[in-house]
């Protein structure tokens, strides 16, 4: 066997594994992109049909149905927490003018807060302008606001800009309270390193630390229901920040967040 053939045969399994991995990623991307960024509101009964052959999940969905009537799905692309939260919260604000005005004021001031923390003014301003545009568009008459909200969140450009800006707000909160959040970061990374690697980049999944920081920054309560294969039929609830009254309810299944409606 020549050196060239020997090298080729040695590289073959590695190349094959990489090819399989690339194909898998391509399939996952295709499946993800076939799902709307934010779906229509649907009955929680639809979730029961999804788990007809799975006794563990089915029993938990039935218990969940005693507390919630509807679900709204989001695209499973790693941005689902930020997209689900922002959609659900803005939707709730449509019916609450006082809270809407308070949030507008907070959102308006957030740009200067981020710049003061060292974020580039030009970058922050670009995303902030789009963020405020969407907020202002959903502050009017109810039916029109709901329709506009759904349209904005399913236009990739607008939808992703909202996610990016919320990621910046979350990063800003983590860095502002770095001494506190450092205790929750593993692997010897600093808060700044964690933000650059796990918070600010698109498609990075969110964990407790992201939810605590963002809900604290926006002064908004979030209740997350965790549904997994753990013992019992109860779908465990966690409120962020702890002790807050939830304005938004989300369902977490391994690796993914959707919106719940009580």
Active site residue 80: yes
pLDDT at residue 233, as a whole number: 82
For residue 61, CA distances in Å to 50, 88, 106, 156, 245 come to 10, 20, 36, 31, 23
Annotated catalytic residue, options 128, 150, 210, 256: 256
Annotated catalytic residue, options 54, 80, 112, 249: 80
Annotated catalytic residue, options 77, 160, 195, 249: 77
pLDDT at residue 164, as a whole number: 98
pLDDT at residue 7, as a whole number: 43
Phi-psi region of 2 (alpha: psi -120 to 50; beta: other; left: phi over 0): beta
- Of the candidate CATH numbers 2.40.30.60, 3.40.50.170, 3.40.50.1970, 1.20.1300.20, the domain formed by 72-221 belongs to 1.20.1300.20
| Helices 121-137 and 97-116: angle between axes, nearest 10 degrees | 170
Active site residue 46: no
pLDDT at residue 32, as a whole number: 60
CA 9 to chain centre: 44
pLDDT at residue 230, as a whole number: 82
Give the largest Cα separation in the chain, rounded.
Answer: 79
CA 17 to chain centre: 31
Active site residue 98: no
Low-confidence spans in the chain with pLDDT less than 50: 3-11
């Amino acid at each position: 066997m020549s050196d060239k053939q020997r090298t080729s045969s040695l590289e073959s399994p590695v190349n094959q594994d990489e090819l399989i991995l690339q194909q898998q990623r391509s399939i996952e991307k295709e499946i993800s992109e076939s799902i709307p960024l934010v779906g229509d509101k649907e009955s929680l009964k639809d979730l029961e049909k999804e788990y007809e052959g799975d006794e563990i999940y089915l029993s938990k969905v039935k218990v969940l149905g005693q507390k919630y009537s509807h679900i709204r799905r989001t695209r499973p692309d790693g941005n689902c927490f930020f997209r689900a939260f922002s959609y659900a919260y803005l939707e709730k604000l449509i019916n609450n003018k006082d809270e809407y005005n308070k949030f507008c004021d907070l959102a308006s001031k957030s740009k200067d807060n981020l710049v003061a923390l060292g974020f580039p003014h030009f970058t922050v301003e670009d995303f902030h302008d789009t963020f405020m545009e969407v907020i202002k568009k959903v502050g009017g008459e109810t039916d029109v606001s709901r329709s506009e909200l759904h349209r904005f969140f399913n236009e990739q450009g607008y939808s992703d800009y909202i996610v990016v800006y919320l990621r910046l707000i979350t990063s800003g909160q983590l860095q502002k309270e770095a001494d506190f959040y450092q205790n929750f970061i593993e692997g010897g990374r600093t808060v700044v390193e964690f933000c650059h690697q796990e918070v600010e980049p698109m498609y990075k999944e969110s964990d407790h630390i992201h939810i605590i920081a963002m809900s604290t920054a926006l002064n908004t309560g979030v209740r997350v229901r965790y549904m997994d294969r753990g013992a019992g039929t109860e779908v465990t609830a966690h409120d962020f920040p702890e002790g807050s009254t939830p304005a938004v309810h989300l369902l977490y299944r391994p690796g993914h967040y959707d919106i719940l409606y009580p």
